[in-house]
Amino acid sequence: MLLEWLLLTRGRGWRKGDAALRLLPGALMVLALRAALTGAGWWWIALALAASFPVHLADIARRPRRSI
Residue 51's pLDDT is 96
- CA separation for the pair 7, 46 (Å, rounded): 30
6: containing domain: 2-62
Residue 16 lies in a domain: yes
Report which of 5, 2, 39 is spatially closest to residue 22, judged by C-alpha positions. 5
- CA separation for the pair 32, 62 (Å, rounded): 24
If you write DSSP's letter for every residue of 26-66 in order, what string do you get?
Answer: HHHHHHHHHHHHTT--HHHHHHHHHHHHHHHHHHHHHSPP-
Answer yes or no: are the C-beta atoms of 19 and 9 closer than 8 Å: yes
Entry pTM = 0.84
Residue 14's pLDDT is 93
* pLDDT grade for 67, boundaries at 50, 70 and 90: confident
Residue 67 lies in a domain: no
**pLDDT tens per residue, range 3-43:** 999 999 999 999 999 999 999 999 999 999 999 999 999 99
Residue 18 lies in a domain: yes
Structural domains in the chain (count): 1
